[in-house]
Amino acid sequence: MIDINFANPAFFISGGKEAETIHDWHRRLAQKNARSECAYYPDKGHAWLFSDVDTHIQLLRYFFQNAAFPEKLKGF
């Protein structure tokens, strides 16, 4: 059981090469707040946002400005 409350929505993002435990916790945490979301970047590791800044910026625009979801990311 997760005993946590979010005051604001959050977007949990991981690289596809990260441990399944990370992905599982991101799904669980996102479910704790109806306004939160989670996704992963296939074939990337933990620090993917440094190698693909454009996708990171697209994700921020999606989450904060209702822009299109980044094509390179996948939802769970």
Percent of the chain at pLDDT > 90 equals: 82
Taking only the tens place, the pLDDT of each residue in 1-16 is 567 777 889 999 999 9
Number of structural domains in the chain: 1
The verdict on residue 3 lying in a domain is no
Helix (H, G, I), strand (E, B) or coil at 48: helix
Residue 67 belongs to some domain of the structure: yes
Provide the residue range defining the domain that includes 36: 14-75
DSSP state of 10: -
Q: Using CB atoms within 10 Å of the CB of residue 10, give its burial: 0 to 12 exposed, 13 to 18 middle, 19+ buried.
A: middle
Q: Specify if 29 maps to a domain.
A: yes
Would 7 be classed as within a structural domain?
A: no
* Verdict on whether the full-model pTM lies above 0.85: yes
CA end-to-end span of the chain, whole Å? 20
- What was the pLDDT predicted at 73? 98
